Amino acid sequence: MAHSKEVISLKDISNVFSIFHDGGPEEWKIHNGNLSIKMYCQYLAELISPEFEFFTIELIGVKTLDYKPWEPFKIDHPELSLIDKLNKCEFEIATAELENGEVSVACHEHNSFFGTPGGQIILVADGIKINAQDGKDISIKQLTAICKSYWDNFGKK
C-alpha cells in the first residue's frame, strides 16, 4: 500500500482528530512503534463511497500515548495494558488540540469502562497516514475537503 509523502506536524495530527469529531476510534493496535486505529466516522466515510463506514489512521513513530480521565477512575483495570483498555472503551471524539507539544484528544466514554464520562487521549507521533475503508490513501488536504463538503451541505438534504 503506497502512502503519500506529506510533511506532517503535530498540529496536522491534531487537525485530523478534530475532523473526526463524533467519530469512534476502535481497534487500537501498536506494531513496530506505529499505532493503527480504525476510525468510525460514517458521515464522512460515506462521502467517499455510500457503503463506507470508517477510515484507518496510522500514527507513525509514536513517542507518547496516554489516557487521562476527566474524573478519577471509578473502575480501574490494572491487569490490562493501555492498548487493551483503549480497545474496551467506546469513545466518541469531541475535540482535539495541540497543547504543550502534545496532541490532546477529548473523548466521551459511552460504555463507562472506567466509570468516567471521558477524558483526554494524549499522543505524540512523527506522522500520520489516513486510508479510506478500501485502503486507498487519503491526504490531510483531501480529508479536509471531504469534511468541508459535509459541513457545507449539512442540513441541505
- pLDDT tens, residue by residue, 107-123: 999 988 888 899 999 99
- Whether 54 has a pLDDT exceeding 50, the answer reads yes
The predicted pLDDT at position 7 comes to: 64
Tell me the average pLDDT across 73-80.
Answer: 82
Closest among 123, 41, 113 to 84, alpha carbons compared = 113
The predicted pLDDT at position 74 comes to: 79
Can you read off the three cell numbers belonging to residue 71?
Answer: 474524573
The predicted pLDDT at position 1 comes to: 40
The predicted pLDDT at position 142 comes to: 96
Tell me the average pLDDT across 151-157.
Answer: 79
Query: In terms of residues, how long is the chain?
Result: 157
CB 61 within 8 A of CB 126: yes
- Whether 8 has a pLDDT exceeding 90, the answer reads no
Residue 77 binned pLDDT confidence (cut-offs 50, 70, 90): confident
CB 26 within 8 A of CB 35: no
Closest among 103, 100, 106, 96 to 126, alpha carbons compared = 103
Residue 5 binned pLDDT confidence (cut-offs 50, 70, 90): low
- Whether 4 has a pLDDT exceeding 70, the answer reads no
The predicted pLDDT at position 157 comes to: 61
Tell me the average pLDDT across 54-73.
Answer: 93
Please report, rounded to a whole number, the percentage of residues in the chain having pLDDT higher than 70: 95
Q: What is the pTM of this model?
A: 0.89
3-state per-residue secondary structure call for the chain: CCCCCCCCCHHHHHHHHHHCCCCEEEEEEEECCEEEEEEECHHHHCCCCCCCCEEEEEEECCCEEEEEECCCCCCCCCCCCHHHHHHHCCEEEEEEEEECCEEEEEEEECCCCCCCCEEEEEEECCEEEEEECCCCEECHHHHHHHHHHHHHHCCCC
